[in-house]
Every structure is written in C-alpha cells, then in structure tokens.
Chains A and B, each alone.
Chain A
C-alpha cells in the first residue's frame, strides 16, 4: 500500500520575526515530526503565540524558512488552529462546526460536524447560539470545529488559559482524544502540570530563542539546560 503524502515532518530554518523594529523571534531552528503532542512552554511574552501564527501561516516570517514536506498551500490545508480566546461565529453550535467543512468542500459535511460535536459532548447543544455557551463549552466547540476537519496538524494556543479546573480537565481529555486519532498537536501553555500531562515532546522558548527541545520524559526528569531546570523549579523567568 502506498503511504499517503504528509505535511510533516516540518523543518524550521533560522526562523525570525520582527515587528515595529522589535525582534520577537531571533532565529529558531528545529523540526516537528508526526506523533505525540509537542508542547511549547515559556514565560509570558516569550513569543509562543507568534511562533504558532508563523507555523500556521497567519504571519509571514521576516527571516528564515519553513520547509514543509508538501507544497506550502497543500500543507496549509492540512492544518487547523484554535486560538486562546475562541472565535464563535454568530450562528448555532452546529453551524459553527459546519462552517470550515463547507468552506473546504468536505463531503458529508453535516454528518462530520455532528460527529465532532458528539465527540466533545456538545451534540445536545447543536441548535443553541454558539455565543451563549459557557467559556469551556465554547473552547470545546472550537476544538470540535477544528477536529471535524481531521487536520494532520492542530495548533492550540493556550487552550485552557481562561478556563476553570473542571473545564480545563474536559479540554485536556479532548486534546488527548484528538492526538489519539492521529492528529499532531502543537500547543503552547504556561501551565507546567498541563505540559507534563500532554507533552510527548517539550520545547522551551525564552526571549525569542529556542532554549531547549527534548522528549517529554527527559525534559521533565533531566532538564537539558540550566534555564529549563530553573523554569521547571518555578524560579525566575516568569
């Protein structure tokens, strides 16, 4: 059987981003491969959100290159992103889940949307206005909306930053299920416990530079850099 072409691995070469004369990312070199979730950590303002937007193609690098394993547009179609504050279209829950599927011309879109809502436990709310959902429900809808597309890669920017512990737990479960379904998760968080629970691989971004990248087990048990060790202890850096 012929292996389906994939966008991953992605090789990132000397990635830079500057805005308004300020260097936000100062030359990042790393690779992203298929498999367990990659969690990007770092203090506030380190450049995590900017990095995700660059990888997803919402921002143009001011230096360096992204080498996808597929042509850029093709790679782009295989990605989805969920933002820190979910953007809810002024439509029903179901219509929100349907929107990107219709846009992508997906076959059997309605069934795919309903299935995705079912998987995140929102099937019963399908006809409700999306903006009337609670914060946790909105984030679950944003995840369902992305998951319905069956993306190869899903970028998540601090997906639980605004949620209470119960909603956070639900969202983490969904993220685990999405990863288990074969989607590569690339997410940022500044919540250490969450990083430990989810990460297969961990990256530490400090002041616009990639300080460390390692498999989760070694990153957390034997931090590869002094800064990573300090970060894990909760010293300085925040």
Chain B
C-alpha cells in the first residue's frame, strides 16, 4: 500500500502514461458514441414508424452486451483477414476506441431515447402548435434535455473506462502503447506486482467516484435550474 501511494505521489512515468491513455481512449470513445447515440436516441423518441419498436428492443438488449463479445466482434472486423483488416488498426489505441464506442453507443442511444421520450410527451403538442417538425424537435429536445443527457454520457464514460475485456482483446495490452488501467491491473495482479496494480486501482476508483460526483452535481444543477 505504501509503495502504491509512493507511485502515485511521485508521478511514476509508466503509471502516468497508462492513466493518460485510458482517459484518451475512453473520452474519445464517449465522443464517438455520443455523435451516433444522441441523435439516434432523440430521433427514436420523436418518431413512430414500423420497425421502431424492434430497434428500441434491440438497443435495450445491446445495453447488456458483454465487453468481451464486443471485443471479439471488433477483433474479427479488424484482424488481418477481416473486412477492415487493411486499415491495420488491430492492437492500436484506435481499435480500443472503436471497441469501447461500439460497447457504449447502444447505452447512450437507449438512455437518450428513454430520457427524451418523457420530455417529448410533455413538449409534443406545444412544439406542433409552434409549427416545429421532427427536424426542429430533435435539436430542441437534445438541448432541453442537456442536463439529463450529460449524466447519460457520464454513465457511458464510466462503463467504458471500467471495462477490461474489449480493450484487452483488440488492444493486446502492449506496454507503453495499448496498456490501459484495467488491462494493467489484470496483468500486474497476475504477475504479482501488487503496488502498481493497487496504485492503478486507486486511481481508477478515484476517477469513477469523480464521475459519479460530477453526475450528482449535474443533477443538482438541473434541479436548481428547474430542468
């Protein structure tokens, strides 16, 4: 424990590198998943068309997609003989970003739909009275639901940064290149380097706690703003 504290206190280079890569991968994955999941969820909230219910059910099911399965799928896509093999992404941070984005995009889309559907129920008649079509309703809901949606994104980030299976498979846990907190913890623990594993565990916990505190702060702000 003392050794772990020492690693954190002295800003150990290897440790910092791992933490930095973890944050970069997960934050980029959240951004990519949000770019798809937010508009998709909003569109599902305001439209009714045949097949919509099927999409909603599929998204809800995909929320529970096991990370190792997401990792396996991306591995097959990116492996040398796979359809996207020519891009040479396997065992790079890019592959890890894709895997995490695939893992959390359904979560963001499904939670966005749930959140905005309630808002739409309240807004629909008034917006139609104003003459707003779907094209205007979607950005309106995304903006007016911004506080709730921020907590959705934080949930996505929490899930991305805590998962180990997907990044292990497509990243390969290569030291100094694709090693992130979760994969490093798994490896160091199995090697018996408990101080590094513990230090990383402490930092990961701190990040998760910080994200939850931030989510709570956003909710409080939303309450206070009446949103």
Give residues in A with beta carbon < 8 Å to B: 56, 58, 76-77, 80-81, 83, 87, 89-91, 99-100, 103-104, 129-132
- Given A129-B226, A130-B226, A89 contacting B129 (CB threshold 8 A): no
Task: Give the contacting residue for B136; candidates A83, A91, A103, A129; CB below 8 A.
Answer: A103
**A7 CB to nearest chain B CB (Å):** 14
Q: Report the Cα distance A77→B130, complex, angstroms.
A: 8
Chain B window 139-165, contacts with chain A (Cβ cutoff 8 Å), 1 for yes, 0 for no: 010011100000000000000000000
The residues of A that contact B126 with a CB separation of less than 8 Å are 83, 87
Which B residues are in CB contact (< 8 Å) with A129? 225-227
Name 12 extra pairs, CB < 8 A, besides A80-B129, A90-B145. Answer: A58-B129, A76-B131, A77-B131, A87-B122, A89-B123, A90-B144, A90-B226, A99-B140, A103-B130, A103-B131, A103-B136, A132-B226
Inter-chain contacts of B227 with A (CB < 8 A)? 90, 129, 131
B86-125 near A? 1/0 per residue, CB < 8 Å = 0000000000000000000000000000000000001101
Which among B122, B129, B136 has the greatest number of chain A C-beta atoms within 10 A?
B129
A78 to B227 Cα, complex, angstroms: 30
Q: Is the CB of A56 within 8 A of B226?
A: no
Determine whether B132 belongs to the interface, using a CB cutoff of 8 Å to chain A.
yes
> Is the Cβ of A104 less than 8 Å from the Cβ of B125?
no
Mind listing 30 A-B residue pairs with CB under 8 Å? A58-B125, A58-B129, A76-B131, A77-B131, A80-B129, A81-B129, A83-B125, A83-B126, A87-B123, A87-B125, A87-B126, A89-B123, A89-B144, A90-B144, A90-B225, A90-B226, A91-B143, A99-B130, A99-B140, A100-B131, A103-B130, A104-B130, A104-B131, A129-B225, A129-B226, A131-B225, A131-B226, A131-B227, A132-B225, A132-B226
Query: Interface of B with A (CB < 8 Å)?
Result: 122-123, 125-126, 128-132, 136, 140, 143-145, 225-227
Contact indicator B130/A91 (Cβ below 8 Å): no
A86 and chain B: residue at smallest CB distance: B126
A58–B129 CA distance with the chains assembled, in angstroms: 7
B123 partner residues in chain A, CB cutoff 8 A: 87, 89
Contacts of A104 in B (CB 8 A): 130-131
| Complex contacts, A100 vs chain B, CB 8 Å | 130-131
Q: Is B144 within 8 A of A91, CB to CB?
A: yes
How long is the Cα–Cα vector from A132 to B136 in the complex, in angstroms? 25
CB distance from A189 to the nearest CB of B (A): 19
A89 CA / B143 CA spacing, docked (Å): 10
Contact present for B131 and A58 (CB under 8 Å) = no
- Measured CB to CB, the nearest residue on chain B to A59 is B125
- Would you give the shortest CB distance from B140 to chain A, in whole angstroms? 8
* Nearest CB in chain A: distance from B19 CB, A: 36
How near does chain A come to B145, taking the closest CB pair, in angstroms? 8
Cα distance A87–B132 in the bound complex, in angstroms: 15
Complex-state Cα separation, A131 to B132, whole angstroms? 21
Chain B residues with CB under 8 A of A77: 131
| Distance of A131 Cα from B119 Cα, bound (Å) | 13
Tell me the minimal C-beta distance from B75 to chain A in angstroms: 42
Q: How far is it, in angstroms, between the C-alpha of A83 and the C-alpha of B127 when the chains are bound?
A: 12
- Nearest CB of chain A from residue B223's CB, rounded to whole Å: 10
Bound state CA distance, A99 and B143, in angstroms?
A: 12
